Amino acid sequence: MRLGQVVPNFLAETTAGRFQFYDWLGDSWCLLFSHPADFTPVCTSELSRLAESHSEFWKRGVKLLALSCDRLRSHHAWIEDLRRFCRNAPCEFPYPIISDETRELAVLLDMIDEDQKDNPEMAMTVRSVYVIGPDRKVKLTMQYPNSTGRSVDEMLRVIDSLQLTSRLKVVATPSDWEPGRQVMVLPHVKQEDLTALFPGGVDTIECPSGQTYIRTTSDIWREPWRTRAPPARPMETFHPTLAAQSMDESTSLNEVIKFIDDVARLPNLRQMPLGDLMELTSSLVTETTYTTSTSERLQAMTKFLRALTP
């Protein structure tokens, strides 16, 4: 799979049941990743680390989807080991693992080592990573050999960059960039447009060549750049009374608190599986991200969290 290529729809047999990829993806981002085999040490370290970090991906509206050529019953048995290996094990494993026994999907997605693709008895998936956008196109690819485990922090970092630059078409992120640091203004942006685009200022780095192509700015956390991300999961899927409401900086604190109170009074709140509860919390935070001040949001979220305690 190449950058910009549309990922084809496929039917997946997973630990969370059978589904069509497009139906499961919806309007979300996706981190699709393969591992060589169940019950192996490096794969266990990777998938358990991703399970520990699943809330970080949900906050970004990213769904996790794993794949290997093992049988489905092997995946289910291995999940018990993965949960034991997690430092903060969720009650339910937080993402599905695809069983691709025929290796058809692995070949389709270029996840098989070139030296093994013609030997179905030997072929195992390598450590592939695809970041897929809501438009179903490949935004990023990474492939690691079987001997090298992947960095979850790096996965989150590149997703932050991809989501930022998908909204801000005039910037790119430099080497080792992390959220909160300066970004670089793309060379095609005209000098005369900088003030309108970045009223907070742009720094131009002098180069021996005399060219002014290195321009940096921190002025990216304001309107119109600050766009509201979609909830990790639509609120109404938790309960029909929680249909999405329009909230922005003008929404009063009382309206925010009423909305959070409605969530806190859900009759099945304390009986929810931990995975659903984490998704609900993530969606709730997203729904109220741009309402009122930080301190007021904290007060409102405190009311919600208190509802979770006996």
Q: What is the pLDDT of residue 98?
A: 96
**187 shares its domain with 287:** no
Determine, yes or no, domain membership for 2: no
Does 30 participate in catalysis according to the annotation?
no
Q: What is the pLDDT of residue 92?
A: 75
Q: What is the pLDDT of residue 46?
A: 95
Q: What is the DSSP secondary-structure string of 210-249?
A: -----EEE---SSTTT--PPPPSS-GGGT-GGG------T
Does 207 participate in catalysis according to the annotation?
no
**81 shares its domain with 125:** yes
134 exposed, middle or buried (CB, 10 Å; 0-12, 13-18, 19+)?
middle
Determine, yes or no, domain membership for 164: no
**134 shares its domain with 251:** no
What does DSSP assign to residue 291? S
**244 shares its domain with 208:** no
Q: What is the pLDDT of residue 113?
A: 73
In our burial notation (b when 16+ CB lie closer than 10 A, e otherwise), range 166-185 reads eebebbebeeebeeeebbbb
**56 shares its domain with 131:** yes
Return the CATH number at 199: 3.30.1020.10
Count of the separate structural domains present in the chain: 3
Residue tagged active-site, from 30, 38, 43, 69: 43
**19 shares its domain with 67:** yes
Question: Whole-model pTM?
Answer: 0.71
Q: What is the pLDDT of residue 156?
A: 94
Determine, yes or no, domain membership for 229: no
Return the CATH number at 73: 3.40.30.10
**140 shares its domain with 104:** yes
**Domain residues for 245?**
235-307
184-235 confidence digits (pLDDT tens): 999 999 988 888 888 888 999 999 998 989 999 987 765 444 444 444 455 5
Strand spans (E) along 137-291? 138-144, 171-172, 183-185, 203-204, 215-217
Residue tagged active-site, from 27, 91, 118, 135: 135
**127 shares its domain with 177:** no
